[in-house]
Amino acid sequence: MNNKIKLVLLLTILLIPITLGFTTKYLTKPHKVYRVYLKGVSLGLIKSKEDLNKYIDEKQEEVKKKYKVKKVYAPSELSIIEETTYSNNILSTESIYNKIANISPFTINGYVVKINGVTKSNDKEKSKTKTQKIYVLKKNVFTDSAENTAKSFVSAESFNTYKEDKQEEIKEVGKIIENIYIKNKVTIKKIKVPVDEKIYTDSEELTKYLVFGTTEDSKVYKVKKGDTLEDVAFNNKMSTEELMVANPDITDKNTLLYPGQQLKVGIIKPQLEIVEEDHVVKREQQHYTTETKYNKNKYTDFSETKQKGVNGENIVTQKVQMINGEISNTVTVNKEVVKEPIKEIIIKGTKKRPSGGGWGTYTGPGYGDAVKTKGTWGWPATCSSVSSPFGYRWGVLHDGTDIAGCGYGSNIFAAQAGTVVQSSQKFDNGIYVTIDHHNGYYTLYAHLSRKIVKVGDNVSKGQVIGAMGQTGFATGVHLHFGMWRGFPYHGGSRAFNAMSVY
């Protein structure tokens, strides 16, 4: 071997360690390390995953104090995989911790509550609430708040007697709660909860959210002289029941208010649908019907009550379903007649007067102000159970009175004489009829199963115009009875409480 070849071999041997050192950072043997992934992206290598978890726990003392927990964990999207490598490119525990902190929140042991939305419908709208997640530190935080939410819509006394199976039997009239449950599908699962989420630690705060849809404090109204509970509720776009939910110390609708009294007036937005199913036995007034007879020998302005109507009385047994304190469905399962009603008979003339002389000016009942005609309007249904009154519900005006319990297909009557101006069907009212009473007032009858009058028909008070049903946005069989000043839903018209004329 010549000297030139020997020199090349010597240089090659001397360069081998330098080359190996450059590519392996001077390591010649493989060793075990851990690669940290967050959301599928590698953050680097560490020597010990135990050291990382310990470091995370030590650095999160504030979180441990806030939630009174013993341990804080890595983000749920973090994974640590063991590797064997020649590389010595190892990051410090602190460096990896800082990378994690800048990307994802750390976690603590807790529970996620999933509340599946339920399709809701009323007379004017239909919506489906979204499934939502609520995080709680302990399972009982939710179960206790769910029970407290139920007690917001079912009196605590009634709820407790039902839960303890101590309800008294109905002797003559009364109510027994048959079931109370949450309509929504609710699941509770133990997970690692991210600390940047809203985590409920006590049931009182969560109850507030489940009832009002927020944890912010409600607005406060200072009572003025002459205010009633009903006035305060309506003027703040609430029902009386909602006002009582917001002010649980008020347990009676007839509670007298005093000037200076402070009431919470936050609109409730329940996050759960609390269903109460009742067996009810009650005395119910049966409104008399009206029969109109015509006399061709009398002029058209002639009207005479031949027989005055008298209401009857029944003892009715009903199955009533309530959702969040409001009746959603009523079914009458038995009716015992205590006193038969006496129908009213009215005689009207059909003879036309000669033209001229100023005849034909309408001076009949209801002219100028419907309230002044109190007692002259006929009841539009065969039963008298009001399932939902005129007024606000969850911040939206319910512009009519719902009457239920009469049964599917039961007769619907014209409340007063007039002309049919609408006899149609639409997505919200379902099958409906509107009557113009020629005095500035209109009545509307919605959710019918059928209609038997057409536009242009002149109808008498008490005449059958259709049948009770559940068409349109209706949660149960009922009549939506609306009374309006002006043509319903047209410019300048206004709905008012029909019960003011009865």
CATH label of the domain that carries residue 440: 2.70.70.10
Note the pLDDT tens digit of each residue in 211-222.
Answer: 999 999 889 999
Residues 198 and 329 reside in one and the same domain: no
Of the given ranges (104-108, 319-323, 346-350), which has the lowest mean pLDDT? 346-350
**Structural domain of residue 89, as residue ranges?**
23-104
Structural domain includes residue 243:
no
Of 370 and 376, which is predicted with more confidence?
A: 376
Looking at the domain assignment, is residue 166 inside a domain? no
**Burial (0-12, 13-18, 19+ Cβ within 10 Å), 65:** exposed
Is residue 14 pLDDT above 80, yes or no?
Answer: no
Amino acid identity of 354? P
- The answer, yes or no, to whether residue 23 has pLDDT greater than 50, is no
* Residue 340 and residue 479 share a domain: yes
d(CA 452, CA 470): 16
pLDDT band of 85, cuts 50, 70, 90: confident
Whether 369 and 387 share a structural domain:
yes
**Mean pLDDT (the chain, rounded):** 88
Q: Is there a domain that residue 373 lies in?
A: yes
Residue 12 predicted with pLDDT over 90:
no
Tracing tokens 């997970």 back to the chain, one arrives at: 191
Q: Is the pLDDT of residue 107 over 90?
A: yes
Residue 333, CB half-sphere, CA atoms under 13 Å: how many? 9
Q: Is the pLDDT score of 266 beyond 90?
A: no
| Residues 151 and 286 grouped into a single domain | no
CB 107 within 8 A of CB 74: yes
pLDDT higher than threshold 50 for residue 22: no
Question: Sign of the CA dihedral 302, 306, 311, 312?
Answer: negative
Q: Please indicate, yes or no, whether residues 205 and 349 belong to a single structural domain of this protein.
A: no
Are 145 and 186 a contacting pair, CB within 8 Å?
no
| Orientation angle between helical segments 139-153 and 203-212, nearest 10 degrees | 50
Same domain, 100 and 113: no
Last residue of a domain, one of 214, 233, 259: 214
Is the pLDDT at 4 greater than 60? The verdict is no
Residue 335 burial (C-beta neighbours within 10 Å; 0-12, 13-18, 19+): middle
Q: List residues bridging with 280 in a β-sheet.
A: 175, 318
Supply the pLDDT for residue 78.
Answer: 95
Q: Which of 104, 122, 138 is the last residue of a domain?
A: 104
Instruction: Inform me whether the pLDDT recorded for 169 exceeds 90.
Output: yes
With bands split at pLDDT 50, 70 and 90, how would you rate the model's confidence at 127?
low
Distance from C-alpha of 407 to C-alpha of 411, rounded to nearest angstrom = 9
Single-letter residue type at 142: F
Does residue 17 form part of some domain?
A: no
Tally of structural domains, the chain:
3
Residue 98 covered by a domain: yes
- Among the residue ranges 91-100, 105-114, 375-384, the one predicted with the least confidence is 375-384
* Residue 374 confidence class, pLDDT cut points 50, 70, 90: confident
Same domain, 193 and 282: no
Residue 239 within any structural domain of the chain: no
Classify residue 176: in a domain, yes or no: no
Q: Determine the average pLDDT of the residues in 305-316.
A: 94
Percent of the chain with pLDDT over 70: 88
Report pLDDT for 46: 95
> Is 311 a residue whose pLDDT tops 50?
yes
Residue 114 has pLDDT above 60, yes or no: yes
pLDDT above 90 coverage of the chain, percent:
76
Among 43, 71, 104, identify where a domain stops.
104
Does 147 fall in a domain? Answer: yes
The answer on 203 and 68 residing in a single domain is: no
Coil, strand or helix at 126: strand
Residues 189 and 78 in one domain: no
Closest listed residue to residue 392, CA positions, set 250, 276, 246: 246
pLDDT (0 to 100) of residue 128: 55
The model's pLDDT over 252-263, given as tens digits with 9 standing for 90+, comes to 888 999 999 999
Please name every residue paired with 42 in a beta bridge, in sequence order, or none if there are none. 37
> Which candidate, 458, 364, 367, places its Cα nearest to that of 420?
458
Confidence of residue 301 (pLDDT cuts 50, 70, 90): confident
Give the residue-averaged pLDDT of 89-98: 94
pLDDT for 366 equals 36
Name the maximum alpha-carbon separation found in the chain.
150
At 175, the amino acid letter reads: K
Lowest mean pLDDT among 90-99, 123-132, 156-165, 454-463: 123-132
Residues 419, 408 within the same domain: yes
Q: pLDDT, tens digit, for every residue of 456-493?
A: 999 999 999 999 999 999 989 999 999 999 999 999 99
Res 356 pLDDT > 90: no
Helix (H) or strand (E) holding 97: helix 93-101
pTM: 0.80
Between 13 and 137, the more confident residue is 137
206 shares a domain with 319: no
- 336 and 412 part of one domain: yes
**36 pLDDT more than 80:** yes
User: What is the pLDDT at residue 31?
Assistant: 85
